[in-house]
Amino acid sequence: MRNILLTIEYDGTNFCGWQRQPDKRSVQGEIEKALSIVCGAPVSINGTSRTDAGVHALGQRANFRGEFGIPTDRIGIAVNNILAGGLNSIGSVGDVQIVKVEEKKEDFHARFDAKGKKYVYKILNSQEKDIFGRNYYYQINKPLDVEAMKDAAKYIIGTHDFKCFQAAGGEEKATTVRTIFDLKIFNQLADNRKQEIELQIKGDGFLYNMVRIITGTLVDVGLGKRTPLSVKAAIDSKDRQKSGHTAPPQGLYLYEVYYDLEELNKF
């Protein structure tokens, strides 16, 4: 029995999300259909993160088990050809593709063996809207105070009960305590009217919509709607009503999944 680990990237714009759903186009469903053709038998994959509709990924991970003849190094090529429409031509690419294929031990599980994840959230802070960026950024037309956002971010790093950053409707968790190892905010000024802001957050796990609520809370700080210290108060309160709004899915990217604690702890 072979156990294959996939590293996957996708543009989440035209998907209902990662998870397979009846009569809806999902990332999991598209990959499973292609793998079933390539392997000559039904394939079910175990994904690490159940990203929502509109969320993108550069480093989603999923594994599957089975007995099939295709060599490991040919799986990605064959699947990507199908995902791109079977065009089999230079330059053709779909909105989901396999970027790496590895063979793992039989007891390996992509989700349960993960030690942590890194997400990136992208913001376009500009007075003018960018039609071509609408699916890939949170576009904010009022000036953001990035230094205030950085001050607020310091209160999020560490081990806390992050219940205030959890949205209703997700899978019930045994605990809402998580460790955020790092939260960095970078900004690049294009001109006096436009800047790109990127949040990079690394943790041992995330609650439902946690990154999007953290982002929305920091945006509220940047807009002057709340103080940096209010973020600490929100965490201490464990009350969702004390934190900020939920940022839209379009700016969120699952960047990397870690299976090595040393890699996870690198800053």
Residue numbers belonging to the annotated binding site: 119
User: C-alpha 169: how far from its chain's center?
Assistant: 18
Alpha-carbon distance 155 to 250, whole Å?
25
Give me the residues paired with residue 201 across strands. 119, 183
Bind-site residues for substrate: 119
3-class secondary structure for 114-159?
CCEEEEEEEEEEECCCCHHHCCCCEEECCCCCHHHHHHHHCCCCEE
Catalytic, 52? Answer yes
Tokens of 256: 């990397």
Say how many residues make up the chain: 267
Distance spanning both ends of the chain, measured CA to CA: 37
Give me the residues paired with residue 198 across strands. 122, 186
Q: Is 5 in contact with 102 (CB distance < 8 Å)?
A: yes
Alpha-carbon distance 189 to 236, whole Å?
34
Alpha-carbon distance 135 to 133, whole Å?
6
Catalytic hit among 11, 23, 52, 73: 52
Annotated catalytic residues are: 52
